């Protein structure tokens, strides 16, 4: 067994090897990035570390406006690839069974959470299991997931680990090919509390495959856009301070005759009459053109790195935009979505195999040539009538089946129910 060899070589057959495994440097580095991204999405940005200063003998609380643009970008990506429910395609009997499993197990909600984890943290972990007569799955927190790979890059075990902040007790769920062990360090000693049979093998490790440093783990889109967003936040808050201090609250000064007393900075409309001298405000002239140039350059780079169309930032006038022009505007996010789809589909195919294994345990079997696949429906603005016209032409020409017609139609969400209703209506018309 490769896991036993790994434990023997790496930890000298230590029965508590999992406690040492989660302390490995590459695990700690990845978990730190996940927690850092979680904090960022919760509003703890770098701009909040900006120091305050003194102004007119008083403390000036500098501007620290937090922009939640990253959340909007991630929601846009989530909705684009998985916002419209994907359709299952393949052999009719197999698709029918899998649709039942998906409805009962609430897999469509899990699909959205998987895509969200991929975009936020770069990795997602799903464990498919059998629970009280129902096939379902759970999504393991990215910050709690520790996939174990050997020196050849083969996935050999998985550790789900966290520490309770109140009791300070650490929990370890060790997933292997045939069992799941639960360990804790209650009382200072490692205790095996529970062991259960594992029918579906290791949790599925989904990755967002943009990590060039380590292909076994993914890279979040948040890692790419955060430096640009930090710079935009700094620029806007610096401008806020400059406008407040230098433009909205200028310093008054006189030349010539000395004036007793001062004028309150909060008053407006007072007039001074000087016998000999001059009265002026010292106001800074901001180079707005240069600032706008920098800001526009940052926004343009953010659009390219985030793969979000300019329409989402309000940068494009979409009046009278043709279908072809709209496709060009969305081309960048299409390319990004297709890349995510490749890795997402790889994980979903593994899920299909695990579900089939559980269905076989229930006595539901399929032929060797039966298959199931998933069709993604990107949430791109489209001319629905044009799509329907093309589908109708192919169907009427005999180049497409009724099921494929319904699967490809943007107006249909559940293929099996729609086919069932068509059959029921046909039988009713025949009786009448």
* pLDDT at site 353: 95
**b (16+ CB within 10 A) / e for 99-112:** bebbeebebeebbe
40 Cβ contact list (under 8 Å, min separation 6) = 70, 222, 226
Q: In the structure, what pLDDT confidence band is assigned to residue 258 with cuts at 50, 70 and 90? A: low
Write the CA distances from 330 to 304, 315, 380, integer angstroms.
Answer: 11, 13, 8
* pLDDT at site 312: 61
For residue 401, give its domain range: 388-432
Q: At what angle do helices 92-105 and 415-431 cross, to 10 degrees?
A: 120
pLDDT in tens, 222-240: 999 999 999 999 988 888 8
Phi-psi region of 377 (alpha: psi -120 to 50; beta: other; left: phi over 0): beta
| Token pair belonging to 259 | 């004036």
In a domain, 111, yes or no: no
In a domain, 395, yes or no: yes
pLDDT in tens, 188-224: 899 999 999 999 999 999 999 877 888 899 999 999 9
In the chain, % of residues over pLDDT 90: 44
In a domain, 214, yes or no: no
Sort 183 into a burial class: Cβ within 10 Å, 0-12 / 13-18 / 19+. buried
* pLDDT at site 148: 96
Q: Distance between terminal CA atoms of the chain? A: 66
In a domain, 277, yes or no: no
* pLDDT at site 256: 66
Return phi, psi of residue 373, to 5°.
-140, 175
* pLDDT at site 240: 84
pLDDT in tens, 83-103: 888 888 888 899 989 999 999
Contact (Cβ atoms closer than 8 angstroms) between residue 199 and residue 129: yes
Q: In the structure, what pLDDT confidence band is assigned to residue 24 with cuts at 50, 70 and 90? A: very high
* pLDDT at site 163: 93
Helix (H) or strand (E) holding 31: helix 25-41
In a domain, 432, yes or no: yes
On average, the pLDDT of the chain sits at 85
pLDDT in tens, 341-395: 999 999 999 999 999 999 999 899 999 899 999 988 888 776 667 677 888 888 8
What is the DSSP secondary-structure string of 366-429? --TT--EEEEEE------HHHHHHHHHHHHHTTSS-HHHHHHH-TT-S-HHHHHHHHHHHHHHH
428 pLDDT exceeds 70? no
In a domain, 226, yes or no: no
Rg of the chain on CA atoms, in Å: 30
370 Cβ contact list (under 8 Å, min separation 6) = 90, 91, 93, 94
Q: Could you tell me the pTM of the whole model?
A: 0.81
In a domain, 404, yes or no: yes
Write the CA distances from 150 to 1, 20, 156, 158, 407, integer angstroms.
Answer: 12, 15, 7, 12, 41
In a domain, 411, yes or no: yes
Q: Which residue has the tokens 């096939």?
A: 135
Number of domains in the chain: 1
Q: In the structure, what pLDDT confidence band is assigned to residue 290 with cuts at 50, 70 and 90? A: confident
């Amino acid at each position: 067994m490769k896991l036993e060899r790994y434990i023997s070589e790496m930890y000298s057959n230590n029965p508590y090897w999992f406690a040492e495994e989660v302390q490995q440097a590459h695990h700690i580095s990845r978990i730190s990035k996940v927690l850092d991204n979680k904090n960022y999405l919760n509003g703890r940005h770098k701009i909040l570390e900006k120091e305050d200063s003194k102004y007119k003998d008083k403390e000036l609380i500098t501007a620290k406006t937090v922009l939640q643009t990253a959340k909007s970008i991630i929601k846009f990506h989530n909705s684009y690839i998985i916002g419209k429910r994907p359709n299952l395609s393949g052999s009719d009997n197999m698709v029918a069974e899998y649709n039942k499993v998906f409805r009962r197990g609430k897999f469509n909600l899990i699909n959205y959470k998987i895509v969200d984890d991929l975009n936020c943290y770069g990795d997602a972990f799903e464990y498919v299991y059998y629970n009280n007569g129902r096939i379902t799955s759970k999504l393991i927190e990215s910050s709690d997931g520790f996939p174990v790979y050997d020196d050849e890059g083969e996935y050999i075990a998985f550790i789900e680990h966290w520490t309770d902040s109140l009791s300070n007790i650490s929990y370890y769920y060790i997933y292997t090919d045939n069992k799941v062990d639960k360990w804790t360090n209650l009382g200072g000693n490692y205790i095996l509390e529970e062991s259960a049979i594992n029918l579906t093998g290791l949790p599925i490790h989904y990755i967002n495959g943009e990590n060039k440093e380590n292909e076994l783990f993914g890279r979040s889109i948040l890692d790419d856009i955060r430096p640009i967003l930090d710079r935009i936040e700094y620029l806007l808050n610096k401008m806020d301070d400059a406008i407040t201090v230098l433009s909205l609250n200028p310093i008054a000064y006189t030349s010539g005759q000395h004036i007793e007393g001062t004028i309150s900075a909060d008053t407006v409309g007072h007039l001074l009459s000087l016998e000999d001298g001059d009265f002026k405000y010292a106001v800074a002239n901001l180079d707005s053109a240069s600032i706008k140039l920098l800001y526009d350059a940052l926004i343009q780079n953010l659009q390219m790195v985030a793969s979000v169309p300019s329409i989402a930032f309000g940068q494009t006038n979409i009046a009278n935009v043709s279908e072809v022009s709209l496709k060009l505007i969305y081309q960048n996010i299409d390319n990004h979505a297709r890349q995510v789809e490749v890795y997402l589909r790889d994980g979903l195919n593994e899920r299909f195999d695990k579900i089939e294994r559980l269905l076989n345990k229930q006595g539901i079997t399929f032929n060797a040539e039966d298959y199931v696949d998933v069709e993604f429906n990107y949430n791109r603005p489209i001319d629905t009538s044009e799509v329907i016209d093309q589908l109708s032409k192919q169907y009427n020409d005999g180049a497409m089946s009724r099921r494929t017609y319904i699967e490809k139609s943007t107006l249909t969400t559940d293929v099996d129910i729609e086919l069932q209703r068509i059959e029921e209506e046909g039988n009713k018309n025949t009786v009448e």
